[in-house]
Each structure stands twice: as structure tokens, then as C-alpha cells.
Structure 1
Amino acid sequence: MTGSASMEIIKGRIEEQHPGTIIYNTNRFSGWSSLENMWYQVQQLGQDLLNVSSQHPEGIHLLGYSQGALLSRTILQTFNNHNVHNFISLSGPQAGQYGTNFLHLIFPDLALKSAFELFYSRVGQHTSVGNYWNDPYHQTLYKEYSQYLPFVNNEIISNRSEEFKKGITKLNAMVLIGGPDDNVITPWESSQFGYFGQNDTVVNLIDRDIYKDDLIGLKTLDKAGKLKIITVPGVNHFMWHLNTSIVDNYILPYLD
């Protein structure tokens, strides 16, 4: 629900510590428009990325925060002719979301256990949140109705599955940043492709099929030393992009 203004602190810190770096801070889909369907946002933002790439044939880096991190990752998969070297995901729901802490401003009466009734419907799939809502208790409905996340995570094989994988494996590095005190991304491990398994337990990335079967190339990156998983305690979801120590310690090292 925020816009590019919320990323100005990161932008300014990078410019201060990395003089000469050119930064494109997009203001697309800010505010209520962030609820637009994810595929629509991917197509629009993807064209922006290609325009930037064409101006910098030597290569670029891509950073996304929160929903923007999931959008950014999908752009890399969808526009797999990109020239992105390093991708930094800052507290993004990469494995999905099953928590309503951030939804009550939009859907004030939405209850966690019944949210699937809204999101796994034609109406719900017109919203960004519905596109990556991953209810661990209704996986059949998730795969039947969700038009976005099960496809980009190759949980459902499509004629684009190999393309989606190619867009990831060509990266020099994928950096997944998250932490246990996020309090919005649920489970917080989703920021690192972990997710709920049975009995409300969280299964970490390397024990999930998306890694074990190398569905989108995470295992390939990991075996090549290109998958960086960074856990930072004590950071609330709404502070990741406002905390200059996060920039200094975990973002700047991947901008060379």
C-alpha cells in the first residue's frame, strides 16, 4: 500500500555509500493499485525492467521489498531474457502468505480460517493478495483456483515451467532476507521459501519439494553458491526498508 517514497531511504543510503550508482525507484502500483492482479503488475513492471536493462547492457541488480519482492522474482521468471545479475528479496512472501495482520485495513472483517472463501474465487483472484494466498489447510482449492503462485513456483507444471526456471538459474546471486520478528509475512520463513507443512509446523526451504525437486532452480543456485539466505532478528516488517544497517550489512555487499 506504500509507494516509491517509502524506498527513498534505501535509495539515498545506496547513493551515499555507493557513489555513482544509478537507481530506478519505480512508483507504479502504489497505494490501492497495489491490490491489482499480480500478473497485470508483472507485465507492466516487467516492461519497465526491460527498458532499464536496454539502457544498461552491462547488467543491473534488482531489489524488491514485501509484495514487490515477489513481483520482482516473477518478473525475472517471466522476462527471462533479463540481464539482472543479483536479485535481492527483502521480506517478500515468496512461498505465499497465510496471515491477516496486514489485511485488516483492506478487509476489516476477514478471518484467517475463512479467508480462502474469498481468495479462492474469481473475485479473490482479481486481487494481488488472493494471488499468493497459500492456505495450508486447503491445498486442493489453492491449486485449483490460484492463478498465480502455484504456477510461478512450478507446483503446477505448465508450458512455461522451463522458462520460469531459466529466469532464476541465470542469476549470479539470489539474496533472500527475512527474520523471525517480521510479524506480517506469515510464516516469516516464506521470505526464504519456507512454508507451513503439517500440524502448523514450518518446513524450511531445503526440506520442501520446491528445493528438493529443483522446481524453479533454487537448488541449482544453492549448489553453485549463488543462493544467499540471510536471517536478521529484531526487525519488524515495516522497518526493513527504513533501516540503514540492513542496507549497509546485507544489501550493499551484493551491489558490486
Structure 2
Amino acid sequence: MDTARRTVRGSPALLLLLLGTVRIDGYRPVVIVHGIFDGPKQFKTLSQFITEMHPGTEVSVIDLYDNLHSLRSLWTQVQDFRKALDAITLKAPDGVHLLCFSQGGLICRALLSLAPRHNVHAFVSLSSPLSGQYGDTDYLRWLFPSFIKNKVFRVCYSSVGQKVSVCDYWNDPHQRYRYLQSNTFLPMLNGERPHLLQKEWRENFLLIKKLVLIGGPDDGVITPWQSSHFGFYDIDENIVEMRNQEFYKSDRFGLKTLAARGDVSVCVRSGVKHVEWHSNRTVFTGCIERWLT
């Protein structure tokens, strides 16, 4: 017994291990979900950043709905991404980190809401339209060349439009009623459209330990860019910040609770274009790295 006591006193690291305050199994696995028109190949640089800074980390970029297939309805995609995530998390009893880019951030939002007893530790949302999208970007002109932003609702808020991923988060601030009635994805996730599973989804989402929101004013695609931080336009296209959104004030899906716990981190970076977020080392070191432990 005396020998054991001398060993512990002489080894602070061992003492910490005995107290359970140090991880002994390395870094948690990181699961990456890509954005629209993307696939695993676009995330080689980000994967390299992770393994360089945290050697031995298992990084998985889910290889589903790549490129044009990413236009499939989000509820369809979510079901298959959930199966892929479950297969990874089953092998990681200490949990995983979920790092999701652009449209992938919304897929991850849905995964975290639908999955009971999930073991996702940190959810890092990298330039995702979390409150929706409303803007005449190059992506929109490619998808709907005959429409400008204030006409797209005619397609998106229809049964046909709801089979296209972009329409699942198209949020026209001038067509609020149609958005709430016809969009079957984003209003349900954000608790703006009441449903029977809302309480359960909220409890599931709150299982995460950290929510990291990353975006910036020079993104050029996410419109408004504040949507990456749960901000959005009002009817006059003025920005309503996250804490003034009704879904935040009413804590519809747990965002206010997360913030009260001190578990929401907001990172703003200027000078980063949309397609650069996952290959920008400064973004990684300044906004992401610390959360992937």
C-alpha cells in the first residue's frame, strides 16, 4: 500500500488517470458530411489537417449522395446518412465528433434530432444554412435559370419542389405562410412547424456536448451569411440575429438551453469564400481544432 501511494504521489499523470480526468484512448473519431455537389474528394485537405494536428484520429467522410445525387430530398438522404453514422458510432463507445459542411450541416441537424441516445460529442457546423437560404447565388441560377430569388418559392413550395434538396431549406421571408405550410423539412427541424415528435427531437439534439457555428460575410453562397449562425432575414430583409429568433427565445429545439449551458461557440471569419472553408488552415486552427479532442 505504501509503495502504491508513493507511486501515485510521484506521478501526477497517473493520478489524473486514476481520477478519470485524462483520456487514454486518443482522440475521438471525426465524421464528415459533405455539402451540395460535393463528395469525399473535396475533404482530403480537411482530413489531413485533422490527422496532422491530432495524430491517430480516425476520420470518416461519408460517401453518400455525392455530386448531383446531393439534390435528392433531404429526408431521403437523412435516412441513409443515419445508417452510415450508426455503423461508425457503434464502434466508438466514447463518442464521435460530427463535422458538417454547407447542406451537410442540415443533414447533421436532422441526424441529431432523429437519433435517440446518439453519442455525438461536438457538432461542428461549417458554413451551413441553418436558418435557411434566400439569395440569387450561382448555385440558384444553375438550378433555376428562369427564376430570381423572389420567384423560386413557386417551385420550392410545391410537392415537386420538396423533392429537391435546396427547396427543403429555401426560406422566403416574404412567403412566410407558404414556407411554414409547404416546407416539410427545415420548419420541422427548427420547431417552427409544430409536430408530434418535437419534444423527442429536442431531447435528442440536446445530447450533444458542444455546438460550433462557423461562417462569415464573404461566403458568397449562404444567404444571408448569418444563417450559418442561426440568424435570418425578417420580412424587410433586415437581419434578425440568433438570440432574437423566435425559435431561440421559445427554445423550440434546445438552442437556448445549449447557449445557457455555455455549449454554443460562434466563429466568424472574413475573407473566406464558400468553397474554401474546408481547406483554409486558419479556419481549422482558429475555429475547429480545439473542439476535436
Q: TM-score, normalised by structure 2?
A: 0.86
Partner of 1:245: 282
SS of 2:124 mapped into structure 1: strand
Aligned-pair CA distance for 1:234: 1.1
- Write the mapping of 1:63-212 to structure 2, written as runs, cut at 5 A: 63-101=99-137, 102-212=139-249
- Write the mapping of 1:10-29 to structure 2, written as runs, cut at 5 A: 10-29=46-65
Q: Is the 8 A contact 1:9 1:244 kept in 2?
A: no
Alpha-carbon RMSD: 0.9
| 1:204-249 CA-partner distances (Å, limit 9, x unpaired) | 0001111100011011000110011111111111110111221122
SS of 2:60 mapped into structure 1: coil
Give the whole-Å Cα distance in 2 for the aligned partners of 1:168 and 1:99. 28
| 1:168-189 CA-partner distances (Å, limit 9, x unpaired) | 2111100000111111101101
Give the whole-Å Cα distance in 1 for the aligned partners of 2:95 and 2:236. 44
2:67 corresponds to 1:31: yes
Q: Find the partner of 2:93 among 52, 57, 60.
A: 57
Q: Where do 5+ consecutive residues of structure 2 fail to align? A: 1-36
How many matched pairs?
256
Q: Is the 8 A contact 1:97 1:186 kept in 2?
A: yes
| 1:33-58 CA-partner distances (Å, limit 9, x unpaired) | 10000001111101111111100011
SS of 2:158 mapped into structure 1: coil
User: Structure 2: which amino acid aligns with 1:94?
Assistant: L
User: Structure 1: which amino acid aligns with 2:164?
Assistant: T
Aligned-pair CA distance for 1:159: 0.9
Q: Where do 5+ consecutive residues of structure 1 fail to align? A: none
Report which structure shows greater RCO (CA 8 Å, sep ≥6): 1
Give the whole-Å Cα distance in 2 for the aligned partners of 1:123 and 1:168. 29
State the percentage of identical aligned residues.
37
SS of 1:64 mapped into structure 2: strand
Partner of 1:230: 267
- Spell out structure 1 runs of 4+ moving beyond 6 A: none
User: Structure 1: which amino acid aligns with 2:91?
Assistant: Q
Partner of 1:213: 250
Computing the radius of gyration over CA atoms, which structure comes out larger, 1 or 2?
2
Q: Find the partner of 1:3 among 36, 39, 44.
A: 39
Aligned-pair CA distance for 1:163: 1.7
Give the whole-Å Cα distance in 2 for the aligned partners of 1:63 and 1:133. 22
Aligned-pair CA distance for 1:107: 2.2
Aligned-pair CA distance for 1:80: 2.9
Q: Is the 8 A contact 2:72 2:163 kept in 1?
A: yes
SS of 2:140 mapped into structure 1: coil
Q: Is the 8 A contact 2:117 2:207 kept in 1?
A: no
Q: Is the 8 A contact 1:100 1:110 kept in 2?
A: no
Give the whole-Å Cα distance in 1 for the aligned partners of 2:141 and 2:96. 36
Q: Is the 8 A contact 1:38 1:71 kept in 2?
A: yes
Give the whole-Å Cα distance in 2 for the aligned partners of 1:231 and 1:117. 33
SS of 2:61 mapped into structure 1: coil
SS of 1:97 mapped into structure 2: coil
Q: TM-score, normalised by structure 1?
A: 0.98
Q: Which moved more, 1:246-255 or 1:106-115?
A: 106-115
Q: Is the 8 A contact 1:131 1:149 kept in 2?
A: yes
